[in-house]
Structure 1
């Protein structure tokens, strides 16, 4: 099969994350505004073109004060860095429908290689005859690698916010016209 252009279906996709809080629990959040450029044979992603862009100001942790802090210069610095971007540079098939997708992640003006495990979840037609595909992706990054170093020491030892951020994406896309 040849490469096909796929349009991201944002109503059926999500970008979620979690990070340790107070060294005792995980706090979850998501980004509400994101887009992707996908050109791929969904049954063999090894030569796919994948680019992803997330509006950092669309962070949503269900806590307005925390979201306000996250968009500030202490974290995402949305005023100077309104998006984070990922562009795949290498895709390795690891099993049937499973891939390691490595690419350049740019966050807060810093670009580093990161690898995400991507699973092809399936392909089919919706009730209106539109061809759809689904993928999931997971991985983690160290926020300090990107200059997100704000923290607070805890009286009991340790820090308020963990360095490791777990990332989970659920992606549905429609065959572009």
Structure 2
């Protein structure tokens, strides 16, 4: 069974290895302000979703033929580059009796980052940014799940990049519940989130290159056998 973390990856941009001591969150206080916190009023702006009550309980893993985590940021005002990870593990444990006890976990191998430019990929993996040799993974572990009418919800959890852990929230929509061609239960999820890369020590070239990062997740999950 795959191990997870959504983010986001999740997510999740350039990091800088500076000489100053890194601030690490040994214990994240859930009562503190959450990065990218989603206002419930924003749910009305989301597209139509489907009710989760028909989804069977159990563990679901990302079907990597239809799973995407990407992020974008402002590049000196000229454009918003779109980067993605080509590999990650994501797992949902769904509890229909008490949906708030459901969990989402994601693990992203940072080396799978893809900017569509080989030289940039190499630079992103270096100590200037993600420092893959020292910090090979990004993780997300949910701490709270809110399920709202119409197939919408908010997932809050701890995002860890370069050993810096901070709370972050993602808003999501359940697009469809059904079965795969082989008869396996499955569902599709669209999610979005925001973070500041400087919160994770990934602030090289900021503010010339934007500090705000937009995350997008499109994942189809299938029930584990």
TM-score normalised over the length of structure 2: 0.71
The answer to whether the aligner puts 1:25 opposite 2:79 as a matched pair is yes
Which residue number corresponds to residue 102 of structure 2?
48
| Counterpart pick for 2:136 among 40, 65, 82 | 82
TM-score normalised over the length of structure 1: 0.89
Offset, 1:73 = 1.3
The answer to whether the aligner puts 1:169 opposite 2:217 as a matched pair is yes
Give a deviation string over 1:119-170, Cα, whole Å, max 9, x none: 1111111222222111111011100100011117xxxxx61x2111111011
Structure 1 runs (4+) greater than 4 angstroms displaced: 41-45
Contact residue 103 and residue 145 of structure 2 kept, 8 A: no
Give a deviation string over 1:30-88, Cα, whole Å, max 9, x none: 00110012111479842211110111111001011111111111211111110000000
Q: Provide the secondary structure at the position in 1 that maps to 2:211.
A: strand
Contact residue 3 and residue 48 of structure 1 kept, 8 A: no
Alpha carbons of structure 1 residues 123 and 94: separation in structure 2 relative to 1, 3 Å: closer
The answer to whether the aligner puts 1:131 opposite 2:185 as a matched pair is yes
Which residue number corresponds to residue 155 of structure 1?
none
Higher strand share: 1
Q: Provide the secondary structure at the position in 1 that maps to 2:129.
A: coil
Which residue number corresponds to residue 104 of structure 1?
158
